[in-house]
Amino acid sequence: MSQDGAQGHGAGRALAGGRYQLRDLLGQGGMASVHLAYDSVLDRQVAIKTLHTELGREQAFRERFRREAQSVAKLTHTNIVSVFDTGEDDVDGMTTPYIVMEYVEGRPLGSVLDEDVRQQGAMPADKALKITADVLAALEISHEMGLVHRDIKPGNVMMTKRGVVKVMDFGIARAMQSGVTSMTQTGMVVGTPQYLSPEQALGRGVDARSDLYSVGIMLFQLVTGRLPFEADSPLAIAYAHVQEEPPVASSINRSLPPAVDALIARALKKNPNERFPSAES
C-alpha cells in the first residue's frame, strides 16, 4: 500500500457516520478494493479494505467476515498489519463489509522481488531468508491463536520503507470458506493457486502446516525468481501441488547453499506430517 494510488471508485465516500473518509485507491483485486482513508476521530491515516458488493449479499457471510475481523484484531505483532475496526457500508442498496487496517507506507513483496529479479535474477538468499523469518514470526503468533492465514503469498506481504515485513489479510480466506453457496457458484477460487498447499488443492481441512507449505513456495520464488509449479490453468497448478515434485531450487540458482534446498524441500512435502510442525521450528 503506497501513496502512489490513483483516485478510484469510492474515493471521497465516508464510512461509519463520516468517521472514515476514503481517499486514494491503493489497489483492487477479485475480492476487494483498498483505499487510503482518514480517521477523523483519531486523526490518522488508515487503509480500508472494502469487499465487492456481490460478496456481501448473504447475512451468513457478513457475520462470518465480522467474526474473522474481530479475531484478527487481537493479533498484535510488529510483522502483522493491525486491524482496527470493521463495519458495513451501503453501496447502491447493497450491504458491503469493510475492514479498517493499519496503513503501511511501502510496497508489496512482489514488487521488491521484481526489482531484484531485474537487477540480479533473484533475491539474494540472505535477504530472502530474513524476510521469510519475519513472515514465520507473524505466523507463529497467529497459529498460537488458532488462526491459519490460508493465502500466504508475496502480494499479502508488505515491506515498509524501513524494511519492516508486514503480513496482511489474515482471516480473509477463512471468511471466504464460510460455505456460503453463492460464492461457490461464482467460480471463485479461495486462496491463490500458485501458493496452495496440496490439502487446500484437494479441499481438505488445513492447519498451520498448510501456511508453512505456502511459505516454502514463496521462499522458492524469492531465491530463484520463479515459481516451482507453473501451468496454463488454476486446475493444472493445483494438480501439480498434489502430484508433482518441485525442482531443486539450486538447480535454478546455483549459488544457493544446500541448507536452503533442504529448508524448501521439507516445507514443500506433500504430506503435512513430513513438514515442519510449526512456524517456530
Q: Domains in the chain, ordered, with CATH? A: 14-102 (3.30.200.20), 106-274 (1.10.510.10)
Mean pLDDT computed over every residue of the chain? 88
Question: Torsion angle of alpha carbons 204, 71, 9, 150, nearest 10°?
Answer: -20
- For 29-47, give one letter per residue: b (16+ CB within 10 A) or e: eebbbbbbbbbeeeeeebb
Q: What does the pLDDT read at residue 62?
A: 82
pTM of the model: 0.88
Q: What does the pLDDT read at residue 190?
A: 57
Q: Using the 8-state DSSP alphabet, how is residue 106 labeled?
A: E
Please name every residue paired with 15 in a beta bridge, in sequence order, or none if there are none. 20
The yes-or-no answer on residue 39 being catalytic is no
> Residue written as cell 498460537?
144
**CA 58, CA 267: separation in Å to the nearest integer?**
37
Q: What does the pLDDT read at residue 89?
A: 85
Burial of 27 by CB count in 10 Å (0-12 exposed, 13-18 middle, 19+ buried)?
middle
CA neighbor of 180 nearest in space, from 36, 265, 54? 54
Q: What does the pLDDT read at residue 10?
A: 65
Q: Do 273 and 198 touch, CB atoms closer than 8 A? A: no
Q: Using the 8-state DSSP alphabet, how is residue 111 labeled?
A: H
Q: Which one from 39, 89, 116, 151 is the annotated catalytic residue?
A: 151
**CA 70, CA 141: separation in Å to the nearest integer?**
16
Q: What does the pLDDT read at residue 182?
A: 35
DSSP element (H, E) containing 48 = strand 44-51
Q: What does the pLDDT read at residue 175?
A: 65
**CA 198, CA 269: separation in Å to the nearest integer?**
9
Q: What does the pLDDT read at residue 187?
A: 40
CA neighbor of 142 nearest in space, from 97, 203, 206? 206
Low-confidence ranges of the chain (pLDDT < 70): 1-11, 173-190
